[in-house]
Structure 1
Amino acid sequence: MADLIFPIAPGAALAIHVALSAGIVAAIIVVATIIREKRAGARPDVPYESGILPGTPPQGPQNAPYFLIAALFVIFDMEAAILFAWAVAARDAGWVGLIEAAIFIGVLLLALIYLWVDGALDWGGPRQRK
């Protein structure tokens, strides 16, 4: 049915998609270059945020506990994608697939318990070891 509506080869469709995407990116860059604010004497090497120029150099590395939580979320979120794929093929996989999925979930559960005990999931930073 789709072939009757759009009689085009898959390679040609890919080429059209790539060309349109590149054209849109080029158009955005050209428009941004044309309408951007032009400041005389602007220094491109100085960070500029919220209209405030920095007065002092940075104080060194900043603590970012959110990054750790986000990284752990991505790692453990991948298990959902893998388990969805397993759920689709659960009947075909049979008991062997069920045992493999149980082992997979068990390993992830052990990793989560380790991270919890180690304090990696605490916002307050690392715990004091006794």
Structure 2
Amino acid sequence: MSAFHSGVMIGLFALISVGIIIAMLMLNRFLGNFYRQQQHDNDLPFESGLLPSGSTQRHFSVSYYLIAAAFLIFELEAAILWAWAIDYWSLGISGVIAAIVFMVILLLGLVYLIRKGAFNFGGRLS
């Protein structure tokens, strides 16, 4: 297969993908509001058929978002280290050094989060 043929196939795939995405967005735009009735009851949150009592807005502290971001970072670290562990024997010393540098950088990030107080709730659990 020539390089030109591969490029044409990739371009064709990209055009078909973009066309499908545009078609789905257009269908959503035209059919999405078709059955919606503009009533006040539709704007209320659904709580098992009961009318809401009190405020439906909750305010979370910033530390909640910091912990969520830290969780994502360290969860991705586990996935990357899993891939590294699978290929451990074929990577050689350069792979081991790269993994150690990667873990040291993440450890420095964890130390930074701890020093900034990202995991300090000030004695409050809510």
Question: What letter corresponds to residue 25 of structure 2 in structure 1?
Answer: V
Correspondent of 1:97 among 87, 95, 98: 95
Identity of aligned residues (%): 31
Quote how far apart the aligned CAs of 1:102 are. 1.7
| C-alpha spacing 1:34/1:116, structure 2 compared with 1 (3 Å) | same
User: What's the counterpart of residue 3 of structure 1?
Assistant: none
Quote how far apart the aligned CAs of 1:18 are. 1.7
Q: Distance in 2 between matches of 1:31 and 1:104?
A: 48
User: What's the counterpart of residue 5 of structure 1?
Assistant: none
User: What's the counterpart of residue 5 of structure 2?
Assistant: none
Give the 5 Å matches for 1:13-92.
Answer: 13-39=13-39, 49-50=45-46, 63-87=61-85, 89-92=87-90
Q: Distance in 1 between matches of 2:33 and 2:27?
A: 10
Question: What letter corresponds to residue 26 of structure 1 in structure 2?
Answer: M
Indicate whether 1:12 and 2:12 are aligned: yes
Q: Distance in 1 between matches of 2:106 and 2:71?
A: 12
User: Which structure shows the higher helix fraction?
Assistant: 2
| C-alpha spacing 1:25/1:96, structure 2 compared with 1 (3 Å) | same
Asked if 2 retains the 8 angstrom alpha-carbon contact of 1:69 and 1:121, the reply is yes
TM-score between the two structures when normalised by the length of structure 2? 0.59
The alignment partner of 1:35 has SS state of coil
Q: Distance in 2 between matches of 1:72 and 1:63?
A: 15
The alignment partner of 1:33 has SS state of coil
Question: Which stretches in structure 2 are left out of the alignment for 5+ residues?
Answer: 1-7
Question: What letter corresponds to residue 37 of structure 1 in structure 2?
Answer: Q
TM-score between the two structures when normalised by the length of structure 1? 0.57
Q: Distance in 1 between matches of 2:116 and 2:75?
A: 20
Quote how far apart the aligned CAs of 1:101 are. 1.0
| C-alpha spacing 1:78/1:90, structure 2 compared with 1 (3 Å) | same
| C-alpha spacing 1:62/1:108, structure 2 compared with 1 (3 Å) | closer
Question: Which stretches in structure 1 are left out of the alignment for 5+ residues?
Answer: 1-7
Spell out, residue by residue over 1:71-130, the C-alpha distance to the aligned partner (whole angstroms, 9 max, x if none): 1112222323432443455344311221221232133234324534654224xx247xxx
Question: What letter corresponds to residue 112 of structure 1 in structure 2?
Answer: L
